[in-house]
Amino acid sequence: MAPVADDRFAAYYAERLWDWLPEVYRDEDGLAANPGVLRSFIELFAGQAAVLRRSQDRLWDDQFIDLCDEWAVAYIGDLVGTRLVSALNARARRVDVAKTIYYRRRKGTLRVLEELIGDITGWDGVVVEMFRRLARARHGLDPAPQRFAAPLTGTPPGGIADLRNVRGASLAGTAFDEYASTADVRRNGRHAIPKLASGDRCANGKCRRRCAAWCSPTSSSR
């Protein structure tokens, strides 16, 4: 059983009910052979009034996703038409429902996808458009090769990688890969125009690869 909050509702209602009684009955209760019986009844009634008051307060809080009980999250989610995440992750479920409208207004942007990773998993997510990592031949409309070169390896967009860079090689295969790759036209291929790469940002100078999910933006349901 959950502990009762120290809201002093029971004491408040006991005094209110006691004050409403005529003074003659209060005096008789103190002078009776078995004093305090009437006061005990009043305290019992006050206790039930306090329970009703707490229930009313909880009912009001259950209208807001930030304050509601866990059972109410699914009902609020149904009102906004969201598809709930697993009930095993209560925090992510609540955040997902709270930000459903926010997500929909920004649907299809990289920023909202990164926020979605952070909200659901608690990690600092990053999303990369894989068409920007494809190797290709340069043409006359391309800017100067070094103008948009990668910061670690100096690889220009669609250019040849410097394999002597140890730091750059350690990031290969992650969402932070600076090397250009040839197109992978397989259905589940990573490097293709409609594909996105998602991962988590580096922590303490070391890039973690635990979130190496690759997906197609056309398969998103949000």
Contact 182, 176 (CB under 8 A): no
- How many domains would you assign to the chain? 3
Is 111 within a domain?
Answer: yes
How many other CB atoms are found less than 10 A from the CB of residue 214? 16
Is 198 within a domain?
Answer: no
- Same structural domain for residues 133 and 170? yes
What pLDDT sits at residue 86? 83
- Strands (E) in the chain, as ranges, are 125-129, 196-200, 213-215
CA–CA dist 17, 44 (Å, integer): 11
What pLDDT sits at residue 131? 84
Is 211 within a domain?
Answer: no
One pLDDT digit (tens) per residue for the chain, 222 residues: 456 667 889 999 999 999 999 999 888 888 888 888 999 999 999 999 999 999 999 899 898 998 898 899 999 999 888 888 888 888 888 998 999 888 888 888 888 888 888 888 888 888 888 888 888 887 878 777 777 788 778 787 777 777 788 888 887 777 778 888 888 888 887 788 888 877 777 544 444 444 344 444 444 434
What pLDDT sits at residue 123? 80
Is 44 within a domain?
Answer: yes
* pTM across the whole model: 0.57
Is 138 within a domain?
Answer: yes
Q: Which domain holds residue 142?
A: 128-183
Residues whose CB falls within 8 Å of the CB of residue 137, separated by 6 or more in sequence, listed in order: 158
What pLDDT sits at residue 2? 57
What pLDDT sits at residue 11? 92
